[in-house]
């Protein structure tokens, strides 16, 4: 039984549609009502199409009445990050440089697969300009705020996706991740964010950030993330770099648990420093996995921070984006992006190759680690959400967003699957995320471990402004 449509998961909705308990029209209207109530404060949506969403929901309702659902997500209210092409809607990428009058006649692969599976598209959610940073504000769309504390950032660059899901404005959203952009906002807003192995979810058009860029689900439960992965991982011929379609359902794999699995825990990858509340919550999460039967060993990885190499690859991509808009583009963009490009300018081909070599060495180290351990645990982020409207926390010694998210971008360099699941709260009531990382192509194993943890805890059941309910008990 569904107690509240606003907080129903995608799986619950699909089951309720089948039984006739709920209709897709009711679920879609609930999501639209939540947007009306909350988005004026949060600013997660840059486009809402209520009329077309309700029309699609009525079509879905008819299919369910005929017992002819279109696919795995028929009738599920769904939002799309505004970096992804969506047929009939402009993809503005948070930028005043992008004209809404373009030819918007094509869906990105993830959007196409969701549409083919009957998902009801309710709107597009915010991104920083061209997805360039780890928070979500832009010249075109303004600041996206954290539902847990409106003075704090929701993170980014998929901040609109995470904020919408965290506040009940739809059960799930599809985002992108080039350096943590799914996991960062998931960690800051207390939801689930999964970055799959590179190539598992086809991408088109090709990202200017190259093979750093991934697409994946943001949901409230791991079950829903696995369900969305069964949709997003379907093939698309437009992405020549995508891998083969999985041969097994992700959703069918998540009950395997963690008993007997050998897991490494690195609190800082060898170079980070954590807020005490974050460290406490993550260590308690590690203990839960031990109690579930995992063999967890805390290790000192001793890795060197690969941020310099990451900057070469990342900001070369950002510069390439602007190149297509002509000489006057820097005067029209986020001033902090313009300043970042000045700080990280004039990279040579040799610099790019050196950065690629660092990437390959890190991949080798990760591969050797996973000869000993099935999974790696880290905090998603070393700090809780900070002030909205800033790229870095007050008092930061660095101007770069990478300075406060040291545990996410390494796994874009190595292309490994990584998920953030909520694992507690700070004393101030802000969410904390646990990151679970696996070797390349072990997406099902990462999802399975995350599902085992979430099945033993209740953090994902908390709602904004209700943390007091869950500040003491951390497990069922």
Alpha helices in 391-442 (DSSP H): 410-413
Q: What is the dihedral of CA 291, 294, 297, 299, to 10 degrees?
A: -120
Q: Return phi, psi of residue 40, to 5°.
A: -60, -30
Of 95, 138, 161, 181, the catalytic one is 181
Residue with tokens 């099935």: 374
d(CA 340, CA 318): 10
The catalytically annotated residue of 60, 157, 161, 233 is 157
Would you say 421 and 222 are in contact if contact means Cβ atoms under 8 Å apart?
A: yes
Catalytic residue among 30, 81, 161, 195: 81
| Cα radius of gyration (the chain) | 21
Q: How many CB atoms lie within 10 A of CB 268?
A: 17
Which residues lie across from 431 on neighbouring strands?
425
Burial of 153 (0-12, 13-18, 19+ CB in 10 A): buried
Active-site residue flag, 266: no
397 counts as catalytic: no
What whole-number distance in Å separates Cα of residue 113 and Cα of residue 448?
Answer: 23
CB 407 within 8 A of CB 298: no
Do residues 221 and 454 touch, judged by C-beta distance below 8 A? yes
Do residues 45 and 34 lie in contact, with contact meaning Cβ atoms separated by under 8 Å? no
158 catalytically annotated:
no
Phi, psi of 48 (to 5 degrees): -130, 125
* Residues carrying an active site annotation: 81, 157, 181
């Amino acid at each position: 039984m569904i107690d509240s449509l606003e907080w129903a998961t995608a799986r619950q909705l699909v089951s309720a549609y089948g039984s006739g308990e709920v209709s897709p029209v009711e679920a879609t209207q609930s999501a639209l009502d939540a947007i009306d109530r909350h988005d004026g404060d949060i600013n997660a949506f840059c486009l809402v199409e209520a009329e077309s969403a309700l029309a699609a929901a009525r079509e879905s309702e008819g299919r369910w009445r005929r017992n002819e659902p279109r696919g795995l997500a028929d009738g599920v209210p769904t939002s799309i990050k505004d970096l992804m092409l969506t047929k009939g809607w402009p993809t503005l990428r948070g930028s005043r440089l992008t004209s809404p009058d373009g030819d918007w006649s094509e869906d990105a692969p993830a959007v196409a697969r969701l549409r083919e599976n009957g998902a009801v598209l309710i709107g597009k959610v915010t991104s920083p300009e061209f997805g360039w940073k780890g928070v979500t504000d832009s010249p075109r769309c303004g600041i996206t705020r954290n539902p847990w504390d409106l003075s704090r950032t929701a993170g980014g660059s998929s901040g609109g996706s995470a904020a919408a899901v965290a506040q009940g404005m739809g059960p799930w959203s599809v985002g992108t991740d080039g350096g943590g952009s799914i996991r960062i906002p998931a960690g800051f807003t207390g939801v689930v964010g999964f970055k799959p192995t590179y190539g598992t979810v086809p991408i088109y058009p090709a990202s200017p950030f190259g093979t750093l860029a991934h697409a994946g689900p943001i949901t409230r439960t791991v079950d829903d993330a696995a369900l969305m992965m069964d949709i997003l991982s379907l093939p698309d011929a437009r992405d020549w770099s995508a891998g083969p379609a999985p041969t097994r359902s992700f959703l069918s794999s998540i009950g395997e648990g963690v008993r007997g699995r050998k897991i490494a825990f690195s609190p800082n990858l060898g170079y980070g420093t954590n807020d005490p509340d974050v460290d406490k919550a993550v260590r308690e999460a590690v203990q839960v996995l031990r109690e579930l039967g995992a063999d967890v060993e805390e290790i000192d990885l001793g890795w060197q921070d690969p941020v310099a190499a990451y900057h070469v690859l990342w900001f070369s991509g950002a510069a390439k984006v602007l190149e297509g808009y002509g000489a006057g583009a820097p005067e029209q963009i986020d001033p902090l992006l313009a300043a970042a490009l000045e700080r990280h300018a004039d990279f040579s081909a040799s610099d790019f190759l050196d950065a690629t070599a660092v990437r390959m060495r890190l991949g080798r180290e990760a591969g050797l680690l996973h000869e000993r351990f099935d999974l790696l645990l880290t905090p998603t982020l070393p700090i809780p959400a900070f002030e909205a409207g800033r790229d870095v926390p007050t008092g930061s010694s660095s101007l770069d967003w990478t300075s406060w998210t040291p545990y996410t971008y390494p796994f874009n360099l190595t292309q490994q699957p990584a998920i953030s699941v909520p694992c507690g709260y700070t004393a101030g009531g802000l969410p904390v995320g646990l990151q679970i990382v696996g070797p390349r192509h072990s997406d099902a194993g990462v999802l399975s471990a995350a599902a085992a943890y979430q099945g033993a805890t209740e953090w994902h059941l908390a709602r904004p402004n209700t943390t007091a309910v869950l500040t003491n008990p951390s497990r069922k």
